[in-house]
């Protein structure tokens, strides 16, 4: 009997991935598209339920992925270097997991074979967020939430 090869995210460093492999690591949760507040003194990150103007709240995908950097100047384009130094990527983020030598969760589309499991597992921001178009920046503190930084027991079981 032939042994199946390990999937690319277990055998390749982020820098070694093809563009298609890199893009497929995104689980489509939309958590990275949430506005975050940083304490200037401590560096602590506080999550909000206020999403980028380009986030489609139903699909949890960018409405203009190819043009996002031009349309939203503070949008961060992930690179292996950026992933390793960002302290705000959610703990469930595949880029962060792979960079830390960890495996993907059972609900990740590359593991489950379905883009819907990230939503069914309750990991995505689907229908849980407000658009930054509707919330003034001064009111972000009224929209702080803990769930984007959490890993639930039922989610973390692989």
Say if residues 125 and 117 touch (Cβ distance below 8 Å). Answer: no
Does 113 fall in a domain?
A: yes
Does 111 fall in a domain?
A: yes
Q: What integer is the mean pLDDT of 38-48?
A: 92
Look at residue 155 in the predicted model and tell me its pLDDT. 44
Look at residue 152 in the predicted model and tell me its pLDDT. 55
Q: What integer is the mean pLDDT of 97-110?
A: 96
Q: Is the pLDDT of residue 157 over 90?
A: no
Does 5 fall in a domain?
A: no
Look at residue 158 in the predicted model and tell me its pLDDT. 41
Does 127 fall in a domain?
A: yes
Extract the runs of DSSP E, i.e. beta strands, from 39-150.
45-51, 55-56, 61-62, 130-131, 144-145
Q: What integer is the mean pLDDT of 78-102?
A: 94
Phi, psi dihedral angles at 38 (to 5 degrees): -115, 130
User: Into how many domains does the chain fold?
Assistant: 1
Does 7 fall in a domain?
A: no
Question: Which residues form the domain of 40?
Answer: 19-156
Does 62 fall in a domain?
A: yes
Does 122 fall in a domain?
A: yes
Phi, psi dihedral angles at 115 (to 5 degrees): -70, -15
Q: Is the pLDDT of residue 11 over 50?
A: yes
CB within 8 Å of 39: residues ≥ 6 apart: 45, 46
Does 54 fall in a domain?
A: yes
């Amino acid at each position: 009997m032939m042994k199946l090869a390990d999937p690319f995210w277990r055998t390749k460093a982020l820098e070694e991935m093809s563009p298609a492999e890199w893009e497929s690591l995104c689980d489509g949760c939309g958590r990275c598209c949430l506005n975050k507040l940083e304490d200037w003194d401590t560096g602590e990150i506080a999550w909000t339920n206020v999403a980028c103007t380009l986030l489609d709240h139903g699909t949890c995908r960018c409405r203009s992925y190819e043009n996002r950097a031009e349309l939203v100047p503070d949008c961060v384009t992930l690179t292996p270097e950026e992933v390793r130094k960002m302290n705000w990527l959610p703990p469930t983020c595949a880029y962060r997991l792979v960079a830390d030598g960890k495996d993907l969760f059972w609900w990740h589309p590359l593991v489950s074979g379905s883009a819907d499991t990230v939503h069914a597992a309750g990991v995505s921001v689907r229908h849980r967020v407000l658009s930054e178009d509707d919330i003034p920046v001064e009111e972000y503190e009224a929209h702080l939430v803990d769930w984007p930084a959490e890993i639930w027991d039922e989610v973390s079981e692989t």
